[in-house]
Structure 1
Amino acid sequence: MADYQVVFKPYDKSIRVPAGTNLLRAAMEAGVHINASCGGSGSCGKCRVVITEGSVEGGLSARLRDDEIAQGYRLACQATVVGDVTVTVPLESTVDASILDKRAAPRHTARVKAFDFESIKEQGFFVPPVEKIFVDLPAPTAADHEPDLTRLINALRQQHDEHRLSPDLPFMRKLPDTLRRNDFKSTVTVLRPVRDGRSNRLVNIEAGDTRGRLFALAVDIGTTTVFGQVVDLHTGEAVAQHGDFNGQIRFGEDVITRITLAEKPGGLEQLNQAVLDTTNKVIARILAQAKVDPEEIPTVTIAGNTTMTQLLLKINPRYIRHSPYVPAATLYPPVRARTIGLEINDHARALVFPQVSSYVGGDIVAGVMGSGMYRSAET
């Protein structure tokens, strides 16, 4: 099957796609966001584009006037690529991701910094689930040939009174070489259990003393946007932040449309991959901005409404839409970020904010906690 080049103006973005590719999908793959609130059914008429060079097949609609059709207007969701083509996306048809970074401008960041961070810590709502511990181990000798893990755990008990320690497999893979990289002086990252009685997990090890660098990710999965921050866990401040439009937009702007798609064969997989693609791009960008190595990230905390949370976790939200409107769960255990498709590292854990009900999600819970509303007598 032949491939053709599609150029999108005024962005000067281009992509080669096979013949027969839907024009709206080609735009999304090229990183051009076009309004399609009906999910590509052709009923909303918002994905209007102008064919300025070449031609497409289809794209005509009763939602286009005769004079618009004569000018080259087509609906992107109803058009397919049949040759090289240049497409102009009118302003009214586009969603511009650059406006999202205005949320990261100083005047907006100031609202975050205005929170009483010390008060939040005193109330017990800023307790990072991870800690870095520096250990200086005696090197093995012919007379002292304990295994590396035994040597490390003994040192953690003796030097720091750490007990109930269990290593992750990715940790074990790094252990031997890392210990020897800096004369057995290393920093381990310990993940504290969510519930009492469970083991403290050894999730990462770094050569030397890296206690001064302790970062985590915070991600808001919204219906329209995905916004992320790299947070310094020593200060609570965001050292980098960025947002982008949720890739699910091309399937519909509201949660009901997306739930409807999730009920169709292959729909859940499409929606899950779309939000993962967006989230991974946001994470990669903020880590680069902050100059933080992905290996330094032990946790990513995620807040989203109930439907967005289930779509991220690839749990079908169909029953949220049907009476009696029951979600799959309101509490989720910590899981490896890579297990749910987040491309950070092998050891990072994803911590998902709890929900209250089908339509009161983790985004609201996070907002109530972060804003301090819970301290108000009026609420």
Structure 2
Amino acid sequence: MPETGKGTVRFLPDGIDVPLSPGISLLRHALEAGIPLLAPCGGESRCGKCRVSVEGETRGGDDSGLLSPSALAAGVRLACRCFPVSGDVRATVPPESRTARLAAYLDGKDLSGDGPFLPLPRSCAGMKPVGVALDLGTSTLAAALVDLCGGAVLSRASADNPQMGCGEDLISRVVFAEETQGGFDLSRGRLLSGVDGLIATLLSSAPAGAEVTDVVVAGNTVLSHFLYGLDPSPIRRPPYRPGMKEYPVVDGKALGVSTAREAQWRLFPSLGGFVGGDVVAGILASGMHRNEEVSLLFDVGTNGEVALGNRDWRIACSSSAGPAFEGGDIGCGMRAYPGAIESVRIDRGTEEVEFTVIGRGRPAGLCGSGVIDLCAEMFRAGIVDRAGRFTPGGGNARRRRTEEGCAFVVVPPEESADGRGVWFGESDMKSVLRTKAALSAAAESMLRAVGFPRDAVARVYIAGGFGNFIDLRSALAIGLFPPFPPSRFVPLGNASLAGAIGALRNRRRWKEALALASSTLHHDLSLDPDFMELYQRALFLPHTDEESYRAALAAGGPC
């Protein structure tokens, strides 16, 4: 922390006091104190999500473009632009500004985990050896504790990635680490604290005498660099190459962790700047690398990685899809925690809305599956056209005009959790179109690069907990995926964690992962002359090739 002055900053409701540092934002104070405060844009004053209620002498943070007059009058400020001046300052972080206490989808399918139990070669003498499989997600950390004498999974746990306070997407975090004084050490420290806390949670229910001897980590390239202590800044600039793709085995002491310091840490290798070990682990769990038939693997997240291939060849890419389906870039977007609308249906005649809410309480916003449903329903009901533009509303009460254009009111203010209502506007729809176009075009680009038609793809795997909650018909209605019949889709759950568990339980699977990584080609979309054309075609609902989507939906199959 920089030089401190007189006074303290107290964060509520946590009740944590930190010394006041003049010239340092409330957001930076919160990061130093370990306060869970949302900052999707990494503190660049673009998202307006880091709202706090302030008492005391401060300056800045009163952006009228992001905060309403009533909010400003109530003392609400943006933490990234609000600076405590002197004396004692109190900053109250409301629930909507706190990072989600998201229960990650911890179960994943390991479709190729049919081998014998062959743990990594470590001595069992005088101890009860256990291993940790760890999935480093951009927003969520997930882990499993494995008995290395019998192979049983003893427990699972998840936690928010504390790095979210440094930016919700990976580029924001790299920028924060590079351009903020002490940013790399702070950002890396946040990640290490999250990993330590998660392992400590697992060990709290471990058998007496248990000792962690091995840790297997699957994470995207940026987070793998942070964990390993490598500068990730080269990844954000052409040619977007990581400083390292293969990470030599080290012990916990070398990484600087507080737990599992004597254990051997193995990180899945990366394929490219934004295609990391989590994709390698997902391929391992799917078994697509063992099959003769061609498969696609989507890892639906902020990065939007896609892999294509079979046992003879594989290529993979990252589409930089953005955080629209994880609560970012959506005015009323939020993570999948209590209060989030998770499914939506709209009456095509009256435009009345029915929805379900996580936790069954009052709605506070829209999570990813709710956003996909809402967009599909608005399109089906004729509320938006194929370009995502709002159609004339005919005086319907759910149509509103805001400063940013037209909007559809999902929940009126008096029925919402915070009294502000839940709405979806033109800028939100544009974010969704960009996100879904990037993901769909990435797959189409790779198919075109290898000269394969869509019919050549036998299976489409959806990795990530988010994929388990997507209504496939809604996803196809907006063109999130290429037009495959629903029967070809196979949700895997947390395939990254499943692959890490498999590699921990069987050393042959770890060697298999290393081999498939070295034989999988990284397809750089920035160098693909066809990608932009495919992306532009996908910026419509569902696509310019509407007939193919109608045929896919008509084919039916399990959803």
Inter-partner Cα distance in structure 1 for 2:243 and 2:187 = 17
The corresponding residue for 1:148 is: none
- Selected match of 2:42 from 39, 42, 64: 39
Q: Which amino acid aligns with 2:170?
A: V
Residue by residue, what CA displacement relative to the aligned partner does 1:314-354 show, whole Å, maximum 9, x if unpaired? 21122222222221222111011110112235531111111
2:370 is equivalent to residue 366 of structure 1 = no
Residue by residue, what CA displacement relative to the aligned partner does 1:67-120 show, whole Å, maximum 9, x if unpaired? 2111111111222333434433333322222x22x535xxxx4x45xx468x53
- Selected match of 1:352 from 267, 271, 282: 267
Deviates more, 1:342-351 or 1:249-258: 342-351
8 Å Cα contact 2:18/2:33 also seen in 1 = no
Alpha-carbon offset, residue 4 of structure 1: 2.1
2:332 is equivalent to residue 330 of structure 1 = no
Q: Cα distance 1:352–1:226, how it changes in 2: closer, same or farther (>3 A)? A: same
Q: Give the TM-score, by structure 2 length.
A: 0.47
Alpha-carbon offset, residue 256 of structure 1: 1.4
2:58 is equivalent to residue 56 of structure 1 = yes
- Selected match of 1:299 from 191, 198, 214: 214
Provide the alpha-carbon RMSD of the alignment.
Answer: 2.6
Alpha-carbon offset, residue 291 of structure 1: 4.5
The corresponding residue for 2:509 is: none
Matches within 5 A, 1:109-128: 109=107, 111-112=108-109, 115=110, 119-122=113-116, 127-128=118-119
Inter-partner Cα distance in structure 2 for 1:258 and 1:231 = 31
2:195 is equivalent to residue 279 of structure 1 = yes
Residue by residue, what CA displacement relative to the aligned partner does 1:247-300 show, whole Å, maximum 9, x if unpaired? 221221111122223333533222222211211121122111325657x11111
The corresponding residue for 2:394 is: none
2:84 is equivalent to residue 93 of structure 1 = no
Q: Cα distance 1:332–1:286, how it changes in 2: closer, same or farther (>3 A)? A: same
Alpha-carbon offset, residue 361 of structure 1: 0.7
- Selected match of 1:75 from 68, 75, 78: 78
Inter-partner Cα distance in structure 1 for 2:213 and 2:169 = 32
2:236 is equivalent to residue 313 of structure 1 = no
The corresponding residue for 1:190 is: none
The corresponding residue for 2:206 is: 290
Matches within 5 A, 1:159-198: 187=125
2:69 is equivalent to residue 66 of structure 1 = yes
Q: Which amino acid aligns with 1:324?
A: P
Q: Give the TM-score, by structure 1 length.
A: 0.68
Inter-partner Cα distance in structure 2 for 1:374 and 1:297 = 30
2:173 partner SS:
helix
Gaps of 5+ in 2: 296-559
8 Å Cα contact 1:8/1:27 also seen in 2 = no
Inter-partner Cα distance in structure 1 for 2:155 and 2:87 = 42
Inter-partner Cα distance in structure 2 for 1:85 and 1:268 = 27
8 Å Cα contact 2:11/2:93 also seen in 1 = no
Inter-partner Cα distance in structure 1 for 2:17 and 2:150 = 43
Q: Which amino acid aligns with 2:28?
A: R
Residue by residue, what CA displacement relative to the aligned partner does 1:23-62 show, whole Å, maximum 9, x if unpaired? 22333445432211121122221111223x5453432223
**Percent identity over paired residues:** 33
The corresponding residue for 2:18 is: 16
Residue by residue, what CA displacement relative to the aligned partner does 1:180-217 show, whole Å, maximum 9, x if unpaired? xxxxxxx2xxxxxxxxxxxxxxxxxx3xxx4xx33111
Q: Which amino acid aligns with 2:98?
A: T
Q: Cα distance 1:7–1:254, how it changes in 2: closer, same or farther (>3 A)? A: closer
Gaps of 5+ in 1: 134-186, 188-205
Q: Which amino acid aligns with 1:130?
A: P
Q: Which amino acid aligns with 1:96?
A: A
Deviates more, 1:53-62 or 1:321-330: 53-62
Q: Cα distance 1:95–1:313, how it changes in 2: closer, same or farther (>3 A)? A: same
The corresponding residue for 1:6 is: 10
2:205 partner SS:
helix
8 Å Cα contact 1:33/1:95 also seen in 2 = yes
Inter-partner Cα distance in structure 2 for 1:28 and 1:232 = 35
1:25 partner SS:
helix
8 Å Cα contact 2:135/2:141 also seen in 1 = yes
The corresponding residue for 1:261 is: 176
Inter-partner Cα distance in structure 2 for 1:238 and 1:30 = 34
The corresponding residue for 1:238 is: 153
